[in-house]
Amino acid sequence: MPTEAARTEAPRPAGDAVSTLYNAFFTGLVLAASMRSGAPRAAELVYRIFDRQRERRFLPGLAKLGIDRLPHAVAAAQYHYLSNNIGGVAVQYMPESDRKAWIRYVPPRWAWAGTALCAVPPEVSAAMLRGWHARNGVALGNPRLGFVCTKQTADGQSALEGYYYEYDHPLDPVDRLRFSRAEEAPDFDPAAAPVLASADWPAERLAKAKRNYAMEYVRTALPVAVDLYGPAEAGAIFTLCARQVGMQFRDEIAQRLGAPADDSAQGFAAFAAALGEAQGDRITIGSDGGLVTIAQSGWSLFEEDGAVHPAVIDIWHGLAEGMLVAHNRRLALEWRDRGHRAPFRFEWRIRPVDAAPF
């Protein structure tokens, strides 16, 4: 009889496993784009990712955080401070006035984790600012609000740092982001930083929000990549990236999930079920002709979008393929069924690599 992993709220270690995986996946996507398609195209990709994420999340996020009525420069800076800290990103906030507020993303950088920082082109890092920070004024309907960048870790400086500033005049699009490297942020004073209301943000909600923070980057990035590069090129570049990330992080994810050291097909199915449950999906393990099968009902990553291009699924699937290679290189994962519209349902079987394909 099939066994089902119940859809329950993921405990914190399991949620952290998902955060780790999707953080690595997003970083890998940017590095793969930079290496395999060049810095200018990678910068365009990052710009579009962050611009779309801003469109989807910024204004609703201000309301959720209870800061939507603050002066615009202060609200924008507080949003990045609070939302990023919820996601596990170290950010500082230093207000100067209603019209000027600093933020500082201190090392180690979340987006460019580990030694990935050494490979991120400065224009790719700046593209994040162009898509998000420079366009917060646009989202708020305030053409006078811009962002001034004073440091970038991608340039070897001590942080990604800058401030929101409300000018006396409307800004041309090119002036929404300025660079002023001679300026220095004030020191961070935790007492001056905003604090989430504990009644509104209990530990369970914070843990779920941290998991969702990392997933949101991939949720935004994959469709953007397919639209920008086209399905064939995006599939070639980013499915390889997904396989590499899966191989590199399988052991760490298994340890965080508490998966047993079992390199059998059943062991991988149990690992996949734990990871799926941690992501908020429903996984059923069964058998077919003596081979282990895995079925997934629902897809939390794209449930709210309703539909995705099949290439998005292929890229995401590369994570599982890579993790199986690291789990046991004598096993292969193949599709039995999949669709690209909600309600999503996927089904796989695990077979020996020398067995006939399904």
Whether residue 91 is contained in a domain is answered as yes
This prediction has a pTM of: 0.93
**Predicted local confidence at residue 307, as pLDDT:** 92
Question: What pLDDT was estimated at residue 7?
Answer: 39
Evaluated on CA atoms 328, 330, 334, 336, the torsion sign reads: negative
> Cis omega (within 30 of 0) on the bond before 108?
yes
Nearest 5°: CA angle at 62, between 57 and 66?
Answer: 145
pLDDT at residue 220, as a whole number: 97
Query: Is residue 77 situated within a structural domain?
Result: yes
Q: Taking the mean position of all CA atoms in its chain, how far away is CA 231?
A: 20
343 φ, ψ (degrees, to nearest 5): -75, 125
List the domain range (segments joined by +) for residue 66.
Answer: 33-192
CB 211, CB 203: distance < 8 Å: no
Number of Cβ atoms within 10 Å of the Cβ of 11: 14
pLDDT, block means (10 residues), the chain with 358 residues? 40 85 98 98 98 96 96 98 95 98 96 94 96 97 98 96 98 98 97 90 91 96 98 98 98 94 96 96 94 95 91 97 97 91 94 80
Q: Is 254 within the bounds of a domain?
A: no
In the prediction, which pLDDT does 200 show?
87
Residue 134 lies in a domain: yes
DSSP 289-326: TTEEEEEEE--TTTTTT-B--HHHHHHHHHHHHHHHHH
- Residue 6: what pLDDT? 36
299 belongs to a structural domain: no
| Cα 94 to Cα 190: distance, rounded to the nearest angstrom | 9
Residue 62 belongs to a domain with what CATH number? 3.90.1520
Number of domains into which the chain is organized: 1
- CA-CA distance, 92 to 77, in Å (whole number)? 9
Rounded to a whole number of angstroms, the CA Rg of the chain reads: 21
Q: Which residues on adjacent β-strands are paired with residue 347?
A: 295, 337
Please give the pLDDT value at position 358.
61
- Report the alpha-carbon distance of residue 139 to residue 59 in Å, rounded: 7
**Sequence-separated (6 or more) residues with CB below 8 Å from residue 358:** 334, 335, 336, 349, 351
* 200 within some domain: no
| Distance, C-alpha 117 to centroid of its chain | 16
306 lies in a domain? no
Assess if residue 159 is contained within a domain. yes
* The pLDDT value given to residue 356: 67
Q: Tell me the two tokens of residue 77.
A: 């800076």
Write the DSSP string, 2-25: -EEE---PPPHHHHHHHHHHHHHH
pLDDT computed for residue 305 by the predictor: 85
